[in-house]
């Protein structure tokens, strides 16, 4: 087996506090669902309901009103009881509608009705994906239809490939792994739907070399739809799943195997499952597979969770905390976002939630930089995190945009400096100036 990889940097990341990925449980339905109006890149969605209104499961409750925004649907039936707002630790604010559970479900517990999509035109499929609010199911969360449009408009002779990214370089991707195991057929068909939506003529299943059997299963499931497919084994070294590093590995595959993949659209299994649900089942994005764990959590587990479920409800269903967590992260501890309140909810781009005790965070004491160079050694983008960190502290943010926030430098730094986190915040604020 040939294994393709990015050329420099990266780390082998292991974490014993992640949930077991070989099983998943269905989380309890939230009694209160906090549904943010920003769950993705772009601006706030425009609310279509008011406090006191009754909503149905899957009902459109907020409509996109700017580029890269997306439609928002009610994850549960019930009553809109209030609007809330909060400010995140990175300084950005959000607003949400709070729904109290009540009434009948339109999707849950109903017979599964499947729809034929093969005869639909690509533009019609793109419209449906937009209508059902399908986005990249990880940050930044760009709407899927917006990603497909340019590919559909390309010259008909220009090759393109959809890359199904089943790269598990981060153990906190346990939810995505469980999703692949549980819904391999749906993910494969979702990939074929996306290909048809943008007239993409090739499928590439990029899989961690340790998960080659899973990739073979996905490739076999996709085979009945007549789209040529390829299985490519890539490294499990973090951050192999990041677009820059994965594209490098795939371009190496092209050169060494004499292949031409053309333009690459890289999508996660969760995104493709969302595309399947929207087109095949006429179902908006209502739930996520979430890996819930960390050293503070009594019983880590992978959970199928409704959008809008508060983190405190998830942790309570995992048995609560063994001790008060020092830090709670939405996403992977390497690259996720620290949250200020356990009332924050699961959103479309959530894939993990981690509650960490002090030994796992490295403590609260930051020492001075000792100029050891460890951060430069592990940076896959060949940046100098030390210089970027110091520059941002002095108000210089322009070079920070080159960082893609993988977090390798944070883990490598012996002084426990929050290099990646500071650089990423500097990059965001630099764009908004």
Q: Identify whether 318 is part of a domain.
A: no
Q: Identify whether 357 is part of a domain.
A: no
How do residues 223-250 score in pLDDT, each as one tens digit? 888 888 999 999 999 999 999 999 999 9
Provide the b/e sequence for 295-304 (b: ≥16 CB within 10 Å): bbbeebbbbb
Q: What residue numbers bound the domain in which 419 lies?
A: 374-432
Q: Identify whether 110 is part of a domain.
A: no
**To 10 degrees, what angle do helices 122-131 and 144-152 make?**
160
Beta strand spans in 176-309 (E): 203-208, 229-234, 263-267, 287-293, 301-306
- Helix (H) / strand (E) containing 354: strand 352-356
Examine the domain organization and report whether 275 and 394 are in the same domain: no
Q: Are 333 and 354 in contact (CB under 8 A)?
A: yes
- Largest distance between two CA atoms of the chain: 62
Q: Looking at 280, 312, 331, which one is the last position of a domain?
A: 280
Q: Looking at 253, 280, 307, which one is the last position of a domain?
A: 280
Query: According to the model, what pLDDT value does residue 433 have?
Result: 44
Query: According to the model, what pLDDT value does residue 405 have?
Result: 85
Residue 54's Cβ-count burial label (10 Å; 0-12, 13-18, 19+) is: middle
Query: According to the model, what pLDDT value does residue 429 have?
Result: 62
Query: Could you tell me whether strands 60-63 and 72-73 are parallel, antiparallel, or unpaired per DSSP bridges?
Result: antiparallel
Q: Are 136 and 147 in contact (CB under 8 A)?
A: yes
Q: Are 326 and 392 in contact (CB under 8 A)?
A: no
Residues of the chain falling short of pLDDT 70? 89-91, 361-366, 397-400, 427-433
Q: Against a cut of 0.85, is the pTM above it?
A: yes
Q: Identify whether 176 is part of a domain.
A: yes
CATH number at residue 194: 3.40.50.11540
Query: According to the model, what pLDDT value does residue 164 have?
Result: 97
Which two three-digit tokens encode residue 299? 């019983």
What is the rounded distance in angstroms from the CA atom of residue 210 to the CA atom of residue 414? 30
Q: Identify whether 299 is part of a domain.
A: no
Name the domain count of the chain. Answer: 2
Examine the domain organization and report whether 127 and 275 are in the same domain: yes
Query: According to the model, what pLDDT value does residue 2 have?
Result: 94
Query: According to the model, what pLDDT value does residue 366 have?
Result: 64
Examine the domain organization and report whether 136 and 246 are in the same domain: yes
Examine the domain organization and report whether 130 and 256 are in the same domain: yes
Examine the domain organization and report whether 133 and 253 are in the same domain: yes
Examine the domain organization and report whether 276 and 128 are in the same domain: yes
Q: Looking at 230, 256, 280, which one is the last position of a domain?
A: 280
Q: Identify whether 192 is part of a domain.
A: yes
């Amino acid at each position: 087996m040939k294994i393709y990889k990015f050329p420099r940097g990266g780390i082998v990341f292991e974490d014993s506090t992640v949930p077991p990925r070989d099983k998943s449980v269905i989380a309890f339905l939230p009694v209160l669902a906090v549904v943010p109006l920003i769950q993705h890149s772009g601006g706030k969605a425009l609310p279509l309901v008011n406090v006191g209104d009754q909503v149905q499961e899957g009902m459109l409750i907020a409509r996109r009103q700017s580029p890269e925004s997306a439609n928002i649907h009610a994850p549960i039936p019930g009553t809109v009881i209030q609007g809330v707002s909060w400010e995140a630790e990175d300084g950005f604010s959000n607003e949400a509608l709070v729904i109290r559970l009540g009434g009948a479900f339109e999707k849950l517990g109903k017979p599964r009705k499947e729809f034929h999509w093969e005869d639909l035109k690509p533009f019609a499929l793109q419209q449906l994906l937009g209508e059902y609010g399908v986005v990249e199911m990880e940050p930044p969360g760009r709407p899927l239809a917006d990603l497909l449009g340019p590919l559909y408009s390309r010259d008909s002779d220009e090759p393109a490939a959809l890359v199904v990214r089943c790269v598990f370089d981060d153990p906190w991707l346990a939810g995505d792994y469980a999703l692949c195991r549980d819904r391999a057929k749906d993910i494969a068909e979702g990939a074929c739907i996306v290909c048809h939506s943008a007239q993409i003529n090739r499928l590439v299943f990029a899989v961690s070399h340790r998960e080659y059997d899973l990739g073979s299963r996905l490739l076999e499931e996709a085979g009945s739809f007549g789209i040529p497919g390829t299985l490519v084994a890539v490294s499990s070294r973090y951050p192999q799943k990041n677009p820059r590093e994965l594209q490098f590995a795939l371009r190496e595959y092209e050169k060494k195997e004499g292949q031409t993949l053309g333009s690459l659209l890289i999508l996660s299994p969760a995104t493709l499952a969302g595309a399947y649900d929207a087109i095949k089942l006429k179902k908006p994005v209502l739930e996520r597979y979430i890996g819930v764990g960390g050293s503070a959590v009594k019983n880590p587990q992978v959970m199928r969770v409704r959008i809008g479920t508060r983190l405190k409800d998830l942790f309570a269903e995992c048995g609560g905390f063994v001790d008060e967590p020092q830090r709670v992260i939405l996403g992977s501890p390497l690259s996720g976002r620290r949250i200020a309140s356990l009332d924050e909810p699961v959103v479309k781009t959530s894939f993990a939630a981690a509650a960490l005790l002090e030994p796992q965070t490295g403590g609260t004491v930051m020492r001075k930089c000792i100029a050891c160079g460890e951060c430069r050694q592990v940076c896959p983008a060949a940046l100098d995190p030390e210089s970027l960190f110091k520059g941002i502290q002095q108000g210089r943010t322009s070079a920070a945009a080159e960082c893609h926030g993988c977090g390798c430098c944070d883990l490598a730094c012996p002084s426990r400096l929050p290099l990646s986190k500071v650089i990423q915040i500097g990059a965001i604020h630099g764009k908004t100036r």
